[in-house]
Amino acid sequence: MTSPHMITVSRCDDGHRTHPVRRDCPACGADMHPVVIEGKGTVITWTRIERPPEGFKTPQLVVLVRLEAEREEKDPPVVLAAVADTTTKVECGNVMLIRDTQERYEAEPL
């Protein structure tokens, strides 16, 4: 559990998980509680932002990663993360590791 690629998601008693953490389960409405899981998964879509909002460098590279299901089958959580090296070649299906820098979530190729 010393890997830097552990992130906190929310889980309900029925096994639904989602990210970022929230109080109620989007799937069933039950209370959720935080659980720490490995931030490893597959890119399902991405974009390179060439016209970011004020205050951001151009470009920004953002991926949406579906975390690996581990042993639980229900709806693996998806996580939005920035790729710090914006020259990284990204394709859907790439496996990435995600960490929480406290500032934002960052992904890097495995």
Partner 1 sequence: MVLPPFGGGVDTYLHGVGHTPFGRHTARLDTLAIEAFERMHGEAEEALPEPGHVVVSSQFPGEYGGVENAAAAVTDGLGLAGLAATRVESGPSSGLAALEIADALIRSGARDTVLVVGVETMTRLPAAMANQVLARMATLEERKLGLTMAAQVALMTRAYLEEHGIERELLADCAVKAHAHGLQNPLAQFRKAVTRDEVLASGPVADPLRLYDCAPLSDGAVCLLVSREKGPLRLGAMGHATDHLSITHRNHDARTLTSFRATTRAAEEAFGRSGWSVEDIDLIETHDAFSLLEGMNLEDLGLFERGAGVRTVAEGETAVTGKHPTNVGGGLKARGHPVGATGCAQVAELFWQLTGHAEVEARSVERAQGKRPKKALAHNIGGLGNNIHVALLEATA
> What, of Zn ion, partner 1, none, does residue 72 touch, CB below 5 to 8 Å by kind?
none
Within a 13 Å sphere around the CA of 13, how many CA atoms are in the beta-carbon half? 3
Place of tokens 């496996």: 95
> Between 63 and 102, how does the x/- string for binding to partner 1 read (CB under 8 A)?
-x-x-------xxxxxxxxx---------x----------
Using CB under 5 A as the binding rule, whether residue 9 contacts Zn ion is answered as no
Stretch that binds Zn ion, among 16-24, 60-68, 81-89, 98-106 (CB under 5 A): 16-24
Site map (CB under 8 A) of partner 1, residues 19-58, x = contact: xx-x---xx----------------xxxxxxxxxxxxx--
Cα separation, 27 vs 11, in Å, equals 11
How far apart CA 28 and CA 42 sit, in angstroms, is 25
In whole angstroms, how close is the CB of 25 to partner 1 at the nearest point? Answer: 9
- 16-37 burial, b for 16+ CB within 10 Å, e for fewer? bbbbeeeeebeeeeeebeeeeb
Q: Which does 14 bind (CB under 5 to 8 A by kind): partner 1, Zn ion, none?
A: Zn ion
